[in-house]
Amino acid sequence: MYSWLRTPLFLLNPELAHELAMKSLAASLSSNATWEATREMLFLGAPTQPELGAHVFGLDFPNRVGLAAGFDKNAEYLKPLAALGFGFIEIGTVTGLPQPGNPRPRLFRLPKDEALLNRMGFNNDGAESVARRLDETLSRWDGPRPILGINIGKTKVVPLDEAASDYVLSLRHLHSFADYLVVNVSSPNTPGLRELQEKEPLSRLLGEIQEENHSQSSKLGVPPKPLLLKIAPDLERGALEDIVEVASDCQLAGLIATNTTISRDDLKTDTSKLGSGGVSGRPLVQRSREVVRELRGMTALPIIGVGGIFKPEDSLAMFDAGADLCQVWTGFIYEGPRMVKRLVQAGSVRLYTGD
């Protein structure tokens, strides 16, 4: 069925198609009855099957398949997305201040490569506004919900040497709503951002964010929220070793590998006229898996693997590489909602058969 819907959607501008699809999904699942029926129809009763879940960085995930940040930047569609069976949903990237992002067009499909190219530029409503929306949504939530991750990034107009204060501002607004928090320093679409992946600036940044995490948790009388770092796929081994060292020193709960790539190697699509941006989807499958495998050889920290996951064999290979959880984004655009069921079921078969 999704293949029929995808054809007309792919005739539209990608960003417009995404907005229309999400609004339609929200409208169709606006009642509790349709929400529950959809979960049942798509075999998304994972909370009743604890063997499919995982206990990672102190949290109980109903299953190991999540939705990556970037799909629901402003926490507008948490409830309808939850009906599709994700074990966890990561919203954002959210910045300290609201910002429109880069000029349109800024999102492009590369169907020959089963990929996307984007230079969105962290377009979002800002941390204060997203916090208000989360407060309203979660206060009215009835029934099971996925684990909620919140991904935070730097506001474009904030100078790089003031980045920590901007991340801290977001954390203050959003801390109480997150099951886990992600520091995004790996998007290629905010000028200079990836410089924060270097050892010294990263250590300073994460140190200040972690300090605020502990402060906010102390005020609420709860343990500090698991703090994760999302990294780029374009890092050499030495940079990965530095990141692992910093992650240990700053007591991070885990790593997310990987974000989009700036590499255009081996693409079937001529992207020379599309401009700058990060590539996601199939072209990332090998590199993201390699990064996960390298990281697993360096650290016991939990890893969320993301990049090029379309089919059950992709998610299983990511787990084999060392990931504890996986996330989808571009594959979800190409494969549709039933993709989640297939990935979760693949994990179920492996558990039952020992393969």
Q: Alpha helices of the chain — where are they, by DSSP H?
A: 2-9, 14-28, 32-41, 78-82, 127-139, 163-174, 199-220, 237-249, 285-298, 312-321, 330-335, 338-353
pLDDT at 354: 44
Residues present in the chain in total: 355
Is 268 one of the annotated binding-site residues? no
Work out the percent of the chain whose per-residue pLDDT is above 90: 85
pLDDT at 130: 98
**Alpha carbons 344 and 67: distance in angstroms, whole number:** 13
pTM exceeds 0.75, yes or no: yes
Confidence bin at 42 (pLDDT 50/70/90) = low
Confidence bin at 144 (pLDDT 50/70/90) = confident
Delimit the domains of the chain by residue range: 2-353
Is 124 one of the annotated binding-site residues? no
pLDDT at 51: 64
Confidence bin at 61 (pLDDT 50/70/90) = very high
Confidence check: pLDDT of 43 > 70: no
For residue 7, the one-letter residue type is: T
Is 297 one of the annotated binding-site residues? no
For residue range 223-256, list pLDDT tens digits in order. 999 999 999 999 999 999 999 999 999 999 999 9
For residue range 7-18, list pLDDT tens digits in order. 999 999 999 999
Where does 2-353 sit in CATH, by number? 3.20.20.70
Concerning whether 187 is annotated as a catalytic residue, the answer is yes
Q: Specify the range with the lowest mean pLDDT, choosing from 23-37, 130-144, 206-220.
A: 23-37
**Alpha carbons 213 and 84: distance in angstroms, whole number:** 31
Q: Specify the range with the lowest mean pLDDT, choosing from 22-31, 131-140, 216-225, 328-337.
A: 22-31
Is 192 one of the annotated binding-site residues? no
Confidence bin at 31 (pLDDT 50/70/90) = confident
Is 63 one of the annotated binding-site residues? no
pLDDT at 290: 98
Is 121 one of the annotated binding-site residues? yes
Beta bridge partners of 152: 94, 183
pLDDT at 2: 78
pLDDT at 350: 52
Average pLDDT, the chain: 93
Q: Which of 170, 186, 187, 288 is catalytic?
A: 187
Confidence bin at 107 (pLDDT 50/70/90) = very high
Is 230 one of the annotated binding-site residues? yes
**Alpha carbons 106 and 103: distance in angstroms, whole number:** 7
Is 53 one of the annotated binding-site residues? no
In angstroms, the Cα distances linking 210 to 6, 102, 149, 151, 249 are 42, 29, 16, 14, 11
For residue range 159-214, list pLDDT tens digits in order. 999 999 999 999 999 999 999 999 999 999 999 999 999 999 999 999 999 999 99
DSSP secondary structure string for all residues of 54-102: EEETTEEESSSEEEPTTSSTTSSSHHHHHTTT-SEEEEEEEESS-B--S
pLDDT at 39: 73
**Alpha carbons 183 and 319: distance in angstroms, whole number:** 22
Beta bridge partners of 90: 149
